[in-house]
Structure 1
Amino acid sequence: MHLNNHKEMTFHRILLLLLLLLHMPQSPAAAGSSWSLLLPSIGISAMHMQLLPTDRVVIYDRTDFGTSNISLPDGKCRPNSTDCSAHSVEYNIACNTVRPLMVLSNVWCSSGTLMPDGSLVQTGGWSDGDHVVRIYKSCDNCDWQEIPTGLSQPRWYATNHLLPDGRQIIVGGRRSFNYEFYPKMSATETDFTMMFLVQTNEPDVENNLYPFVFLNTDGNIFIYANYRGILFDYVRSKVVRTFPAIPGGDPRNYPSTGSAVLLPLHIVQGNVDCVEVLVCGGAPRDAFKNANNGKFDGALDTCGRIKISDPDPQWVMETMPLARVMGDMVLLPNGDVLIINGGSAGVAGWDLARDPVLSPVIYGPHKPTESRFEVQNPSTIARMYHSTAILLRDGRVLVGGSNAHDKYEFTNVLYPTELSLEAFSPAYLDPSLSGLRPNIISHETKTTIHHGENFIIRFIVSCPVDPNLVKVTMVAPSFNTHSFSMNQRLLILDGGNTTVALGMSHYEVSVVAPPSGNIAPAGNYILFVVHQEVPSEGIWVRIR
C-alpha cells in the first residue's frame, strides 16, 4: 500500500512537472538566428529595394551594367538599344518568384520613398536619369511610369523622406547642394539651397552623399552628413539647431559608408519624450584616398548615439564587436537594430573594399550598455558594395545584391557579382519560441486608422500572456540602397500593457494610433504585436 502511494505521488509529480515545462515561457537566449537561400538568381543585382503593401518587393540595379541575366517579357527591348534584358524586377514574396520590369532611364544610385497611396516614387539617377521621377504601382502586369523632367536639379546619391503633408523631400545628391519636393505645389516651384551640404562637402571625396535624413517629432528634419548633423526647418529653409560633431571626426556617409537609424519612438500619453539617432560604422578620414592607392584601412568599429530631443545633446560612443563599412541597419519589429552586410576594410566604390563581414550583429537599444551587441550566425555569401537589406512582414530580413564592379563580373574577380536573394531570420523566429509568438486575427483588426484613434487588436498566443510583456509596434517600410534605409521608422504605440484575456489563448489589446503626422506621416505601416520580444507576423495598416 505504501509502495503504491509512493508510485502514485511520483506519477503526479512527474505529470505536474511536465505541465509546468509545457507552459513555461521559453528563453530567447536558447534560440538562434538562421539563413536561407530564397533564389540563387533574380537575374539582376539588388542595388535598390522597396517593400510594397502588396507584399512584393521592387528591386533594380542600373541600366548600363550590360546585359542582365533576365530577359524583358514578350521580346521587348529598351528603346534605342540592343539590350533586351531587364534591370528591374518585382519579387513576389509568397510565390518566391520574380517578374521582369521595364525601366527606361538610368536609375543608378538613385533614391525613393513609398507614398501614402502605396506607390513607390523613385527619383534621380545617373546620366539620362538624373532629373527623372519614376512611379511604380504594384499589380500583376504593372510597370514603371516615368516623368523625364520631374526634378528641378540632378539627383545622384540623394536621400528622400516622406513628410507630414504627403510629399517627399529630396535632399542633396552629387554636387547638388540643395533640396526639393515631389510632387511640386505649383509649376513654378523649384529647389532650395542648403548651405549645410556645401559646408560638409569635401571636393576630393564628397563624404556627404546619401545624407542620413529623419523626420523629427517636431516637424523639422534631422540631417547628418560627413561627421555632423543639424535640425532643419525645410519650410523656412533654416537651420534650427546644430549638433556637436561626432567624436573622432571620421566620416560616416558615402563613400566612407556607415549607416544610421532613428531609434524606436515610444509614444506615451500622446507624446514622444526621447528622440535618438544611432550612427554606426564607416571609414577613417583618409580611407577613400588610401583605397584608391591599394591600401585598405580598417573600417570603424564605433557607433554614436545622440538624443536630438535633449536641451544639450551629446554623443555617446559605443564599440561594435565587428568593425564594418557599407553595413545596413534595419529596425526589427521588437525594436532591436540589425546591422548586416558590408566589409571590414576599405570604402564604398568599385573594388575599394575588402574582407566581408559575414556575421550580422543585433543591437538592443534598451539593454544595459555592456550587453547591447550580440553577434549572429554568419551567411556564406559576401555582401559588399551595392548590397541591400529590408524587413519583411513575416519578420525576416530580405538580403540581396553585391556588385563591386562597373559591369556584371562572375569569374576571375575577388568578389563576383551576386544575383541571389537570401532571408535572414532573427532569433525570434526560431521554432523553439513559437509558443510565445502572437498570431493577429487579422479579420477582426482594422486596417485603416486615423491619427489619435483608439483601436483594438485581437491575437492568439499559446502560452499565458503577461500584459506587461506585450507591446504593439508599427514599422514604415523603407527604401534601401547604399547602406541607408530611407523613411525607416518604428513606433511603439500607447497602450501595449492593456492586454486582456478573452478566453483560452485569445487576447486583445487596446492601443492608440500615433497622434500626428510629425510622429507618423500618413501612409502604410506594418503593425506587429510583440510578446516577450517575439513579434507576430505583421499586418498592413494605413494611417490617414
Structure 2
Amino acid sequence: MALSTSILFQHLLLFLFIFHHPPPCSAAGGSWSLLVENAGVSAMHMQLLPNDRVVMFDRTEFGKSAINLPKCLPDLADCSAHSVEFDVEKKTIRPLTIRTDTWCSSGSLTPDGNLVQTGGNGNGAKGIRVYKSCDTCDWQETPNGMAKGRWYATNHILPDHRQIVIGGRQEFNYEFVPKGAGDDQAIDLPFLAQTNDVNENNLYPPTFLYSDGNLFIFANNRAILFDYVKNQVVKTYPTMPGGEPRSYPSSGSAVLLPLHVKKGVVDAYEVLVCGGAHKEAFNNALNGKFDEALGDCGRIKISDPNPQWVMEAMPGPRVMGDMVLLPNGHVLIINGATKGVAGWDLGRDPAFHPVIYRPDNKIGSRFEEQNPSDIPRVYHSTAVLLRDGRVLVAGSNPHEKYEFGNVLFPTELRVESFSPDYLEPVSADSRPEITAPNNNLEMQYGKHFDISFTVKGPVDPNMISVTMLAPPFNTHSFSMNQRLLFLDSDVPVKDAGENSYTVGVTAPPSANIAPGGYYLVFVVHKDVPSPGIWAKIE
C-alpha cells in the first residue's frame, strides 16, 4: 500500500501551512497517536462494528485509490478499492469491493450487527448495501432497492427495527428500509421543502428518536417533532436564534445529549447544535472569499412544554466539525475548519484543536479546548468512538478526485486516534475494569442485571455510573443513531476480591428509549470510563 511519491510534497506543504498558521496557545488535555500511515482510501464514511473493526469508504468516482483489490474486476473502473475494513487491534487494512457509487450516502447499524447503507450518487442513488463483518465478507449490493434517489440523506433505526431514510438532494420525502407491506413508495415531508434554500441547507438533516416514538428532525435552522406513522407534525420548535443555516452544506453538527434513565423514565431530552456557516458563506467561498464560520452552539430541551434555544459561545468558530459522545457523558467536538463551508475546496483554516463540552456544567464553564492534531481534517473527515475510549479520526478530501500533492489540503489517508484526558496515566487508578460479563452481554428491556468490576485506587461508590452507547454511522459532520444513556443503577457493593465491586443495573425500558441492537456498555468512575463491553438488547 505504498503512497505515490508526490506524497512527499504533501508533508512539505503541511509544514509550511502550520508554520504560517500556528494553532492557539491554550490547550487542556488529550493526546494523539498515528495508527496507520496509509488506509488506502479516504474515510468519507465510517462505522464501528460489533467485532471492534471499522468499515471505511469514500466514493467510486474518486479515481484510483492507494489500495488495490485482491483481484482486478472487469466491471470496475480500475483495480483499486474504495472501501476497507480496518482491524483496530492489529492495525491491518483489508480492501472491500463496492460497485455502486456511495458518494454522500447514509447508513445504520442494524439490530443483527450488520451495516445497512443507502443511497449515494449516479448508479448508487437508489442503492442498498449490506456489510456483515468477517475475515472474508464483502459488500452485498441491491442497486435499485429504494423508491427515490437518496443523496445527502439521513438514516435512523426505528423501534420496529426498520430504518427510516429521510430527505436527500431535492427529495422532500422519506421511506423505509427494508420494505414491508405498503412501504414501496416515498412519503412526502413538506418540512424539507420549507427548509430548502438557494444553497440547499437542509441536507443530512439531524434526526433523533424521542421517547414517544416520534422523531426530532432539524433542517437548516428549524426543527419539528414528527410522527412518521401518521405523517403528521406533532410540534414545531422555534427557529434557532440568528437564523443562520446549520445543516449541510453550512455543516454545523448536532447531537442528542446523554439521556438519564431513572425508574423507567428519561428526565429530559436535549439537543445541541454547534457551528455552521453564514447564509452568504457558500456563494462567497465559490468566489474566493472564505467567511469565518459560526462560533456558537444552540441547546434546546425538546421535552419542555415551551422549549427555547439557549445559545452558548464556543472557544472558536467551526464548520464541518464532528460531535462524538464520550462514555462519561461529555461531548467531543473535533475536525472541521474555521472558515468557509462544505464542498470542493471551499474550507480554509483547519480547526486543529478539539473541544470538550461538559453538558452538566454551568454556562460559561462547559467548553475546554484540547491538545491539537497536526493533520488538517476538513471536508469529508470522520470520527467514531472505539471500545477502549479512544476516538478514531480519519478522512479529509476536499477535492473531486484523489489529490496527493500540489494542493493546499491533500487527500488524507492517515488514520489517527485522539485519547481524551481520562486515558492519561494520572487517571489510571480511577479507571474501572469490567470483569463480568466479559463481553456480549444480553439485555432485555426493563430487566435487572449485574456488572462486576475492579478499580485499582480508592472508590467513591456515589461517583459510579453505567452508560450505554449506540455506535453511530458517521459522515458529513453527523453521526446517525448516536445516543448515550446513563442507566438506572444501584450503589455498587464491595465484593470479596481485592478492589472488586458489583453494581446492579436496570436495562432501558423500551425500544423508544434504546432501539434494539448492539451497544457499548461502560462503568464510569469519577468521569473515568472503563473499556466498554459489547451488549445486545432485544
Task: Indicate the residue corresponding to 1:290 in structure 2.
Answer: 284
Aligned with 1:229 (options 212, 223, 229):
223
Aligned partners of 1:187, 1:81: CA distance in 2, in Å?
35
> 1:82 Cα deviation (Å)?
4.2
Secondary structure, in 3 states, of the residue corresponding to 2:491?
Answer: helix
> 1:31 Cα deviation (Å)?
8.3
Aligned partners of 2:183, 2:478: CA distance in 1, in Å?
31
> 1:187 Cα deviation (Å)?
6.7
Aligned partners of 1:224, 1:188: CA distance in 2, in Å?
24
1:183 is aligned to 2:178: yes
1:394 is aligned to 2:388: yes
Task: Indicate the residue corresponding to 2:144 in structure 1.
Answer: 149
1:265-414 alignment, distance < 5 Å: 265-414=259-408
In the superposition, relative to structure 1, how do residues 433 and 414 fare at CA in structure 2: closer, same or farther (>3 Å)?
A: same
1:113-132 alignment, distance < 5 Å: 113-132=108-127
- Kindly, what percent of the aligned residue pairs are identical? 62
- Compare 328-337 and 408-417 and name the one that shifted more: 408-417
> 1:498 Cα deviation (Å)?
3.9
* CA offsets 1:145-164 (integer angstroms, 9 cap, x no match): 00122111000000001010
Secondary structure, in 3 states, of the residue corresponding to 1:109?
Answer: coil
Task: Indicate the residue corresponding to 2:39 in structure 1.
Answer: 42
Aligned partners of 2:497, 2:210: CA distance in 1, in Å?
41
Secondary structure, in 3 states, of the residue corresponding to 1:153?
Answer: coil
CA contact (8 A) 1:470 1:496 kept: no
Aligned partners of 1:111, 1:95: CA distance in 2, in Å?
27
Aligned partners of 1:72, 1:82: CA distance in 2, in Å?
12
Aligned with 1:468 (options 455, 458, 462):
462
1:22-101 alignment, distance < 5 Å: 32-73=29-70, 75-77=71-73, 79-101=74-96
* CA offsets 1:418-464 (integer angstroms, 9 cap, x no match): 00100000000001110000000144677111000100000010112
Aligned partners of 2:430, 2:106: CA distance in 1, in Å?
38
1:383-462 alignment, distance < 5 Å: 383-443=377-437, 447-462=441-456
1:4-23 alignment, distance < 5 Å: none
* CA offsets 1:154-185 (integer angstroms, 9 cap, x no match): 00000001010001010000011000011111
Structure 1 portions without partners, runs of 5+: 1-29
Aligned partners of 1:413, 1:444: CA distance in 2, in Å?
48
Aligned partners of 2:144, 2:472: CA distance in 1, in Å?
25
Aligned partners of 2:350, 2:490: CA distance in 1, in Å?
40
Task: Indicate the residue corresponding to 1:477 in structure 2.
Answer: 471
Task: Indicate the residue corresponding to 2:15 in structure 1.
Answer: none
CA contact (8 A) 1:31 1:433 kept: no
CA contact (8 A) 2:323 2:333 kept: yes
> 1:48 Cα deviation (Å)?
0.2
In the superposition, relative to structure 1, how do residues 249 and 82 fare at CA in structure 2: closer, same or farther (>3 Å)?
A: closer
Aligned partners of 1:234, 1:269: CA distance in 2, in Å?
28
Secondary structure, in 3 states, of the residue corresponding to 1:231?
Answer: strand
Aligned with 2:196 (options 178, 198, 201):
201
Task: Indicate the residue corresponding to 1:15 in structure 2.
Answer: none
Secondary structure, in 3 states, of the residue corresponding to 2:234?
Answer: strand
Q: Which TM-score applies when normalising by structure 1?
A: 0.93
Secondary structure, in 3 states, of the residue corresponding to 1:371?
Answer: coil
Structure 2 portions without partners, runs of 5+: 1-26
Aligned partners of 2:348, 2:140: CA distance in 1, in Å?
38
Task: Indicate the residue corresponding to 2:507 in structure 1.
Answer: 513
Question: Looking at CA atoms only, which structure, 1 or 2, has the larger radius of gyration?
Answer: 1
CA contact (8 A) 2:439 2:533 kept: no
> 1:500 Cα deviation (Å)?
3.8
Q: What residue identity is the alignment partner of 1:151?
A: M
Q: Which TM-score applies when normalising by structure 2?
A: 0.94
Secondary structure, in 3 states, of the residue corresponding to 1:239?
Answer: strand
Aligned partners of 1:149, 1:57: CA distance in 2, in Å?
26
Task: Indicate the residue corresponding to 2:5 in structure 1.
Answer: none
* CA offsets 1:273-313 (integer angstroms, 9 cap, x no match): 21000000000111111111111110000000000000000
> 1:131 Cα deviation (Å)?
0.4
Q: What residue identity is the alignment partner of 2:207?
A: V
Aligned partners of 1:43, 1:31: CA distance in 2, in Å?
33
> 1:81 Cα deviation (Å)?
3.4
Secondary structure, in 3 states, of the residue corresponding to 1:106?
Answer: coil
Q: What residue identity is the alignment partner of 1:368?
A: K
In the superposition, relative to structure 1, how do residues 237 and 500 fare at CA in structure 2: closer, same or farther (>3 Å)?
A: farther
In the superposition, relative to structure 1, how do residues 188 and 160 fare at CA in structure 2: closer, same or farther (>3 Å)?
A: closer
In the superposition, relative to structure 1, how do residues 502 and 311 fare at CA in structure 2: closer, same or farther (>3 Å)?
A: farther
Richer in helix (by share) = 1
Q: What residue identity is the alignment partner of 1:210?
A: Y
* CA offsets 1:233-292 (integer angstroms, 9 cap, x no match): 000000000000000000000110000000000001110021000000000111111111
Aligned with 1:247 (options 236, 241, 245):
241
> 1:76 Cα deviation (Å)?
2.5
In the superposition, relative to structure 1, how do residues 529 and 124 fare at CA in structure 2: closer, same or farther (>3 Å)?
A: same
Aligned partners of 1:444, 1:361: CA distance in 2, in Å?
32
**Aligned residues: CA RMSD:** 1.3
CA contact (8 A) 1:444 1:457 kept: no
CA contact (8 A) 2:72 2:78 kept: no
CA contact (8 A) 1:500 1:509 kept: no
